[in-house]
Structures are given as C-alpha cells and as structure tokens.
C-alpha cells in the first residue's frame, strides 16, 4: 500500500524482504530495542498479501508522507535501526589510505558503509557504466598545490595521494548511482538522466565478484518521481517487478544490490 508518496520506502522494503539471509536474520532476533520485530511482522504479512507499512513509517519517524524521500537515505535509516546481526549482511569496511610524498608515511583511516555512492561522471559521448564508477571510486587521488594535505609527521602541508582499499567485503553490496546531484551551473539539485549500464556480475578490489539481484529504479524528475524495484527471486531465479502503481515510463537505476559470489 502506498501511503501518499512512500514508494521509495516500499521499494527498499521489497528488496530487503526478498533478501533471504536478511529475512531469516530478522526472524531470529526478538530484541525489541531494534526494528527487527516490525520487519518480521511486515515480511510475514507480505508472504500472504499486500501489506500496510504504517508501523514501519511510524518507527522511521516518517510523518510527511507526501514528500518524496531518497530511497538510499531510508535504506540506511532502516539498517541503522536493525539489529547488528541482521544488518551485518550489508556491512562493509573501507580503509582510506593516505601517503605523504615527503616523509613517505602511510596513514590508514577506516570507514564503515552500507551503501557505496558512485558519482555519475560526464558521459556526453558514451554510456556510463557501473564498472567505470567503481574504477573511479578506487583510483588514486593526488593532492598538490592548493589541495595539499596536512601531515602529522612533517607538521606541515605536503603533497599526498590517497586511495580506498576494501577492508571487509559485504555479503551484499549496495551501490548508489548518484543521479541526484548539485549542479553549480543551475545552482540547484538536478537529476542526471543518462543511461547507465549495470553489469550483472561485478568485480571490486581485490578480486571479489558480485552478482546483481535487485535494482531500485527511479522514474520522473526530482520532485514528482516514483520508485519501483526489480528483484531476482532466490527461489526460482526469475526477475520480478515490484511496483505500487503501474508505471510505463523509462526507468533509471538508483540503488543496485549485488550478492557475493563464491567462485
Ligand atoms: Zn609526511
């Protein structure tokens, strides 16, 4: 059921429902400190019929149901309120490695994430691909001139380079294709409508392969858009479309869910 414009939430909940390991994990957890029991109730009902999401809306503190929210933002919100045992399926760790060009000291800072944000680079000539986004994310960045970084050992600003290294690969990798971006040209948030190729198998450093099993799509523009989802069932391996109303417009991928492949 769509309470006003809560399709962003429905799409995310449908993907979480279809993620078997997650569904089983929330079933096991009865600690009412977390929202697992609300999700369990909802998932139990979803198995039988279309369900009301008002309880979940309440725990997520969503009152302004007519305001379009970002699916990624609410996906993170749900995982934050879920027990660590259930949420760990999506949990990943990155190391931000900084290298000082003067004293050659390496400094590591660890960061946790549930959703990896990929910027859509200008693709006026070619079609943007998720693989390019991954390459861009994991490439080395250089900081020189005005962008120099402070080094504790040198006690001054120095030339530096940084890169991300995966410390812990998540069981399920969620990628956010950043279609909503701030445009300095128009001084407002715009939606990037370029075509993006999403590969069904994806490799991220170092050599971990993932397989696409769900996509949350966005149709329309920033203010009046609509979210839907496409999910491959883990039971019969077929793709299904989940949509709270029928939409025939062109779809744009927003969130992509990849499960780890053991090769
Ligand atoms: Zn240094």
Distances (CA, A) of 28 to 33, 114, 214, 248: 14, 21, 24, 39
Is residue 190 scored above 50 in pLDDT?
yes
The alpha carbon of 105 and the centre of ligand 1 are apart by a number of angstroms equal to 6
The alpha carbon of 45 and the centre of ligand 1 are apart by a number of angstroms equal to 58
The alpha carbon of 117 and the centre of ligand 1 are apart by a number of angstroms equal to 30
Query: CB within 8 A of 258, min separation 6: which ones?
Result: 172, 173, 174, 175, 202, 210, 211, 212, 213
Sheet architecture: strand order including 92-100: 106-113, 92-100, 160-168, 141-143
The alpha carbon of 181 and the centre of ligand 1 are apart by a number of angstroms equal to 34
Confirm whether 2 is domain-assigned.
Answer: no
3-class secondary structure, 104 = coil
The alpha carbon of 165 and the centre of ligand 1 are apart by a number of angstroms equal to 20
CATH of the domain at 240: 3.90.70.10
**Sign of the alpha-carbon dihedral angle for 164, 166, 168, 170:** positive
The alpha carbon of 160 and the centre of ligand 1 are apart by a number of angstroms equal to 8
Protein residues within 5 Å, CB atom, of ion ligand 1: 100, 102-103, 151, 153-154
Distances (CA, A) of 250 to 101, 113, 193, 242, 255: 48, 30, 10, 15, 16
Is residue 60 scored above 90 in pLDDT?
no
The alpha carbon of 75 and the centre of ligand 1 are apart by a number of angstroms equal to 39
Confidence of residue 33 (pLDDT cuts 50, 70, 90): very high
Per the listing, tokens 């203010």 go with: 223
Weakest-pLDDT range from 24-33, 83-92, 151-160, 235-244: 235-244
The alpha carbon of 157 and the centre of ligand 1 are apart by a number of angstroms equal to 8
- The per-residue pLDDT for 222 is 66
The alpha carbon of 79 and the centre of ligand 1 are apart by a number of angstroms equal to 38
The alpha carbon of 113 and the centre of ligand 1 are apart by a number of angstroms equal to 28
Confirm whether 250 is domain-assigned.
Answer: yes
The alpha carbon of 143 and the centre of ligand 1 are apart by a number of angstroms equal to 13
Confirm whether 1 is domain-assigned.
Answer: no
Confirm whether 164 is domain-assigned.
Answer: yes
**Sign of the alpha-carbon dihedral angle for 34, 93, 143, 180:** negative
Q: What is the domain count for the chain?
A: 1
According to DSSP H, which parts of 144-224 are helical?
A: none
Confirm whether 122 is domain-assigned.
Answer: yes
The alpha carbon of 96 and the centre of ligand 1 are apart by a number of angstroms equal to 16
pLDDT tens-digit series, residues 85-124:
999 999 999 999 999 999 999 999 999 999 998 887 665 5
pLDDT tens-digit series, residues 193-214:
777 888 889 999 988 999 999 9
The alpha carbon of 161 and the centre of ligand 1 are apart by a number of angstroms equal to 11
The alpha carbon of 135 and the centre of ligand 1 are apart by a number of angstroms equal to 27
Length of the chain, please? Answer: 263
Structural domain that includes position 35? 7-260
Between 222 and 115, where is the model more confident? 115
Confirm whether 40 is domain-assigned.
Answer: yes
How far is it, in rounded angstroms, from Cα 86 to Cα 49? 24
The alpha carbon of 97 and the centre of ligand 1 are apart by a number of angstroms equal to 13
Tell me the pLDDT of the chain averaged across its residues: 84
């Amino acid at each position: 059921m769509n309470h006003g414009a809560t399709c962003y939430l429905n799409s995310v909940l449908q993907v979480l429902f279809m993620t078997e390991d997650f569904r089983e994990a929330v079933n096991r957890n009865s600690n009412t400190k977390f929202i697992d029991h609300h999700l369990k109730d909802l998932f139990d009902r979803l198995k039988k019929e279309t369900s009301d999401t008002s309880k979940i809306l309440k725990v997520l503190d969503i009152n302004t149901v007519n305001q379009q929210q970002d699916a990624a933002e609410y996906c993170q919100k749900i995982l934050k309120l879920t027990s660590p045992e259930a949420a760990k399926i999506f949990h990943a760790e990155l190391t931000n490695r900084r290298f000082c060009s003067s004293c050659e000291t390496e400094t590591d800072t660890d960061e946790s994430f549930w959703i990896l944000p990929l910027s859509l680079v200008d693709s006026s000539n070619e079609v943007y691909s998720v693989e390019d986004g991954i390459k861009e994310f994991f490439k080395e960045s250089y900081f020189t001139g005005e962008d120099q970084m402070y080094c504790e050992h040198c006690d001054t600003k120095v030339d530096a380079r940084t890169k991300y290294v995966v410390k812990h690969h998540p069981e399920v990798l969620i990628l956010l294709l950043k279609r909503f971006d701030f445009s300095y040209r128009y001084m407002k948030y715009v939606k990037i409508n370029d075509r993006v190729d999403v590969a069904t198998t994806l490799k991220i450093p170092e050599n971990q392969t993932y397989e696409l099993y769900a996509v949350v799509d966005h149709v329309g523009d920033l203010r009046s858009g609509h979210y839907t989802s496409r999910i491959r069932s883990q039971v019969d391996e077929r793709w299904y479309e989940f949509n709270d109303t029928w939409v025939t417009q062109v779809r744009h991928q927003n969130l992509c869910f990849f499960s780890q492949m053991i090769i």
